[in-house]
Amino acid sequence: MIEYSEKEGRMVLKLVYYGPALSGKTTNLLQLHDLLTRQGRGELMVLDTSGDRTIYFDLLPFFLTAPSGLKIKVKVYTVPGQVCHDATRKAVLQRADGVAFIADSNPSESHSNFASFDNLERNLALVGLDIETLPLVIQFNKRDLPQAVPEREIRATWDPTGVPVVLASALNGEGVADTFALLAGLVYDRIDARYALTGQHGLSRDRFVRQLTSLKEEP
C-alpha cells in the first residue's frame, strides 16, 4: 500500500499489470478507461513511449468513497514488458497491493510468458512482497488469435496453483473489466480485516468492486 492516513481519511492502493512485452498491458488500461464510467476514474496517463512501446509506465487512477467518508484511490499501473527495462519494473512493483499478470495466448510466446512470470517472482521477492499471499490474477489475453493456446492446456497448468485465470481479448474489450474486478475483489479480501473496511467504514466487498468497475451505460 502506498499510503494510508486515518486522520485524513485517505487510502491509496496500487495495482500493477505485469507480463511479457506486447502481451496487452497498456491495451487493458486503455480499454478500462473506455469501458468504465467517467465518474470514479481519473485520466489515463501514458508516459513517454519509444516507438509506441511503454518504457516507463501507464497510470489509470480510480476513486471511490466509503460510506464512512474514507477516500480510496486505486492507482493501476502497467510495467514495461521488454526484458531490458527490469529496473523500471522493479521500481513500479514496489509496495503493490495486487498484480494482474497479462499472458500472451500465442503459443510462440509461451516461453516469454514463463520468463516474465519467473521475473515477476524474482522481483516480488526483491521488493519484499510474498507471491504466495499477494493478490494475483492471470489474464490470458489475445483469445481472438486463431492459434491461441487451448483453454484446456491453460487450465491444466494454472488450476492446480489456485491462481484465478481470466480469458480475454483486450483489443475487443472482452475480459478486461472481469480481470480488474477479480483483482479488486482479491485486494479487498486482503485488506478488509486489517483496515476494517466492512466494520468501520461500511464498505462491503460488493460495493468496493462495483464502484470501481461500473460500466458505462450503453448509449
Partner 1 sequence: MSAQTLEFVVGAEKNLRELLLDSDVLPLLKGALQAGAGGARVVDEEGEELWGETDGGGRGELLARLPLYLEGEPVARLELFGSPAERDRLVPLASLLGVALDTVLRNNLKRVLTTEIHTSVVNSSHEELMRINSELAAGEARYRELAENLELRVKERSAELKRAQALMLQQEKMAAVGQLAAGVAHEINNPLGFITSNLHTLQKYAARCCAMLQFYREHVRVDPPARLVENAELKWRELKLPQVLSDIGDLMAESLAGAERVSRIVADLKGFSHVDEAGEVEVDLNQELERTLGVLSHQISGRAEVVKELQPLPPVNCQGQLPGQIFLNLIQNALTHAGAAPRITLSSCFDGERIRIGIADNGPGVPAGLRGQIFEPFFTTLPVGSGTGMGLAVVWEAVLKLKGTIAVADAPGGGADFIITIPAAKEGDRHLAEPVPKE
Whether residue 186 contacts residue 98, with contact meaning beta carbons closer than 8 Å, is answered with yes
Does 9 participate in binding partner 1 (rule CB under 8 A)? no
Rounded to 5°, the CA angle 144-147-175 comes to: 25
Residue type (1 letter), 80: P
- Binder among 21, 35, 63, 106 for partner 1 (CB under 8 A): 63
Taking CB under 8 A as the binding criterion, the range among 73-81, 98-106, 117-125, 157-165 that sits at the site for partner 1 is 73-81
Residue 203 phi/psi, 5-degree rounding, is -105, 110
- Piece in contact with partner 1 (CB under 8 A), picked from 42-50, 103-111, 201-209, 211-219: 42-50
- Residue 42 touches partner 1, criterion: CB under 8 A: yes
Q: Which of 36/149 has CB closer to partner 1?
A: 36
Alpha-carbon distance 139 to 176, whole Å?
9
- By CB under 8 A, is residue 12 in contact with partner 1? yes
Handedness of CA 76, 182, 120, 84 (dihedral sign): negative
3 near partner 1, judged by CB under 8 A: yes
In the numeric block, the cell 491444466 is attached to 156
Sites for partner 1 among residues 94-123 (CB under 8 A): 94-95
Q: How far is CA 66 from the centre of its chain?
A: 21
Residue numbers at the binding site for partner 1 (CB under 8 A): 2-3, 12, 14, 41-43, 45, 47-48, 56-57, 59, 61, 63, 73, 75, 77, 87-88, 90-92, 94-95
